Amino acid sequence: MAMSNFAQDVSVFFIEDGVLQLLLSQDPAAIDAKAYHKTFKALEFYDIENIYVCRQSLEQRGIKSTQLCIEVTLIEHDDLSSLLASQQHVMSF
Amino acid sequence: MSSFTLLVTSAPFSQQNAYSAYRFALAAVQSKHTVNGIFFYQSGTLNGSSLQITPSDEFDLYAAWQTLSKEFQVPLMVCVSAASKRGITTADDARDSDNPHFSLASPFESVGLGELAVLINNSDRLIQF
């Protein structure tokens, strides 16, 4: 969101265990954690529309795209490197 | 000649990453490239702690960051929110939260994430360590 504020064209990728953050059905308060998955909804207000989720990462964890808390674009694992290569800069968290 | 932004997200000593970032920055400026700034984020903010005491027979990375910054005018920027929750606070922030201690001092600067966006925008390359 900070990048988007500075007029950068931002894409977000959720891969491997990162996809678990997007689960709609989660209860972070049960482990004294912040419900920050609710803040993902704010991405669209920052004009961040390229939200990519690895289909295989979901499959391996038994998650369907209907169980996610925001609308995403599913991508194949094989397409990940070409999509990442099309970005000017990549940060990994 | 190229310009770089370095993003350091690793704590000192836990892995080699922060030291590698330092070596890269030094090599870059010595080769007449420009390092527009080094941005410390997540656990990388721990690099900014002035309370580090390095054994005399080990490499003092904290001192090395300071020397690099002073000799080559490389800004050392620390994300304020990532740092604060790890106990890396400026004198001003410590006073505001009634904390008797602080651990972030010049040449490290306490900044927001927007500074990272500006750095990246002004650099040819972003490299994360």
* Among candidates A2, A90, A92 on the partner chain, residue whose Cβ is nearest the Cβ of B117: A2
- pLDDT above 90: residue A8: no
Cβ neighbours, 10 Å, residue A5 = 12
| CATH at residue A37 | 3.40.1260.10
Query: How many domains does the structure of chain A reveal?
Result: 1
Q: Which domain holds residue A50?
A: 6-85
Instruction: Give the pLDDT score at B67.
Output: 98
Q: How does pLDDT run across A36-53, given as a tens digit for each residue?
A: 999 999 999 999 999 999
Instruction: Give the pLDDT score at B50.
Output: 97
Which residue in the list B79, B83, B104, B111 is annotated as catalytic?
Answer: B79
Task: Give the C-alpha distances (Å, rounded to integers) separating A68 from A20, A51, A64, A72.
Answer: 9, 12, 8, 8
Task: Please report whether residue A80 resides in a domain.
Answer: yes
Residue B89 annotated as catalytic = no
Task: Please report whether residue A93 resides in a domain.
Answer: no
Helix (H, G, I), strand (E, B) or coil at A67: helix
pLDDT band at B119 (very low <50, low <70, confident <90, very high): very high
Q: How does pLDDT run across A14-32, given as a tens digit for each residue?
A: 999 999 999 999 999 999 8
Task: Please report whether residue A38 resides in a domain.
Answer: yes
- In this prediction, residues A65-83 reach a mean pLDDT of 97
What lies within 8 Å, CB to CB, of B36 at 6+ separation is B3, B4, B5, B75, B119, B122, B123
- pLDDT above 90: residue A7: no
* Among candidates B9, B42, B117 on the partner chain, residue whose Cβ is nearest the Cβ of A3: B117
* Domains defined along chain B, listed by start: 3-128 (3.40.1260.10)
